[in-house]
Amino acid sequence: MINPTHVSTSPCMQMTEYHARRLGISFASVGVHLGWVYLAGEIVYEFGRTEKEDWLRGLVSEKMPDLVRHLEFLDPKPLGSFSELGRELKISIMRLPEGEVPVFILVVQDMEPELSKRNWEDLSNQVLTFCATGISLREKNFLDFQTITDPIRKKMEKSFSGDVQSGVIAFFHLQDLSPFFKPMGVVKSQEILREVTTTLHKETRENEFNFQLNPRSYFLFCPGETLDGANNRFGSLYFPSKHLILDYKLKIFPIDKAILADDSRFSSIFIENF
């Protein structure tokens, strides 16, 4: 039968006990019997157990390509139902708006009552914090980099037209923020990460875009920009957050259509700086 006391975090996630426990409490508090977090198609967190685990994993794996392509953000979708020890249970999944990497929450619950919009929002906030603080910076092969880089590459290709045939990617590698997360708590930890993103948004011009690979790795793509121009723009940039000024390393890479067309050269920029 489903055992809601079981909690398991993927070894690929460098997760503090505090955040893992907080996420388990979140699943328990909304009354679900089982909860899984999927990141790039892989289960990275498990709350609860079921005798039909293999069947459930297969069901989701079969549907995952379609879910990645078509499921709207924050729109829970029923996947089916099953019985266990005389109990009728239903399966639902929701996709979270987490950048270029697909993130899903799967829950198994009683047929009634439905999870409220507030329940889903609470789970969403906790899962996003879990993902933001837990992606290992050492396990570079953990994520499917093709899944990450293909949408970015296509967006870059569309930016190269007319006189604009080259540009730069500015890479910002922030200091390790994990020591601050536990004493500050979940809410303030989220605020730090949001403020980093806000700072980058302010620096992003109309024809540019930024993206985040993990809590420490941020990229800003600038079509038409030169290495000298990017150094002048970003060399003195700083990230204020509460009472902190976050330290970071800056690397700037030239990019053009030839690099975009070369899988090895393009992917290496992300793998080496993940």
| DSSP three-state, residue 108 | strand
**What's the pLDDT score for residue 141?**
39
Residue 221: what pLDDT?
Answer: 93
Q: Which of 33, 59, 43, 58 is nearest to 9 (CA)?
A: 43
pLDDT at 138: 33
Alpha carbons 33 and 30: distance in angstroms, whole number: 9
Give the whole-angstrom CA distance, residue 171 versus residue 213.
11
248-273: pLDDT as tens digits: 889 999 999 999 888 778 877 776 66
pLDDT 10s digit of each residue in the chain, 274 long?
455 556 676 655 555 666 677 788 889 888 899 999 998 788 888 898 899 999 999 999 999 989 988 898 889 999 999 999 888 999 999 998 765 578 899 999 999 888 998 889 888 888 877 776 555 433 433 344 565 677 788 888 889 988 899 999 999 888 877 676 667 665 666 677 778 888 888 889 988 988 877 667 788 999 999 999 999 999 888 887 766 677 888 999 999 999 988 877 887 777 666 5
Q: pTM score, two decimals?
A: 0.51
The two three-digit tokens of residue 214, written as one number: 């993990």
Cα separation, 91 vs 95, in Å, equals 14
Of 198, 177, 201, which is closest to residue 189 (Cα–Cα)?
177
Domains of the chain: 7-134 (3.30.450.30), 145-272 (3.30.70.270)
pLDDT of 14: 56
Please tell me the predicted confidence (pLDDT) of residue 136. Answer: 42
Q: What is the pLDDT of residue 216?
A: 75
pLDDT tens per residue, range 121-173: 888 888 877 776 555 433 433 344 565 677 788 888 889 988 899 999 999 88
Report DSSP state, residue 23: H
